[in-house]
A = this chain, B = another copy of it.
Amino acid sequence: RFILLRSNPLCVQIVYFISISTLGFGFLKALKPLGQTQKNLDLFFTSVSSTTVSSMVTVEMGIFSNTQLIIITILMFIGGEVFTSLVGLFFIRSRLKIDLDKIASSHARLASRNPFIIVDRFHLEDEMVTNEVHKHESLSTTNENLRYLSMKYLGYVVIGYILFLHVIGVIGVSLYLTIIPSTKQLLKNKGLKMLTFSVFTIVSSFSSCGFVPTNENMIDFRKNSGLLLMLIPQLLLGNTFYPPCLRLCICGLGKFYKKRECRYLLKHSEKVGYKHLLQRKHTIFLVATNCGLIVVQVTLFCVMDWNSKGLKGLNFYQKLIGVLFQSVNSRHAGTSIVDISILSQAILVLFVVMMYLPPYTSFLPLKYDGKISENSKKMKKRRGKVTENLIFSQLSYLVIFIILVCITERKKLKEDPLNFNVLNIVVEVISAYGNVGFSTGYSCELQLHPETNCENKWIGFVGKWSDEGKIILIFVMLFGRLKKFNMDGGKAWKLH
Contact = CB atoms under 8 A, between A and B. Distances in A.
Identical copies in the complex: 2
Interface stretch (A62-70, A98-106, A159-167, A485-493): A485-493
- For chain A, the bracket of interface size reads 35 or more
Which 9 A/B pairs are nearest by Cβ-Cβ distance?
Answer: A346-B406, A422-B423, A345-B406, A365-B389, A346-B403, A364-B494, A346-B407, A487-B496, A345-B413
Nearest to A372: B494
Greatest chain B CB density within 10 A among A360, A395, A422, A487 is at A422
A146 B418 CA distance: 64
Contacts of A345: 406, 410, 413, 421-422
Contact of A410 (B346, B388, B406, B494): B346
A459 interface: no
Interface in A402-460: 402-403, 406-407, 410, 413-414, 417-418, 421-423
Contacts of A229: none
25 contacts: A304-B407, A344-B406, A344-B413, A345-B421, A346-B407, A348-B422, A349-B399, A349-B403, A349-B422, A353-B399, A357-B495, A361-B493, A362-B494, A363-B389, A363-B492, A363-B493, A363-B494, A364-B492, A365-B385, A365-B389, A366-B388, A366-B491, A366-B492, A367-B385, A421-B422
A496 B364 CA distance: 12
A484 interface: yes
A350 interface: yes
Greatest chain B CB density within 10 A among A346, A348, A385, A399 is at A346
Contacts of A369: 492, 494
Nearest to A409: B345
B493 A344 contact: no
A413 to B, nearest CB: 5
B406 A358 contact: no
Interface in A371-413: 372, 385, 388-389, 395, 399, 402-403, 406-407, 410, 413
Contacts of A418: 417-418
Contacts of A357: 495
A493 B362 contact: yes
Contacts of A358: 495-496
A423 to B, nearest CB: 4
Contacts of A388: 366
A107 B348 CA distance: 67
A388 to B, nearest CB: 6
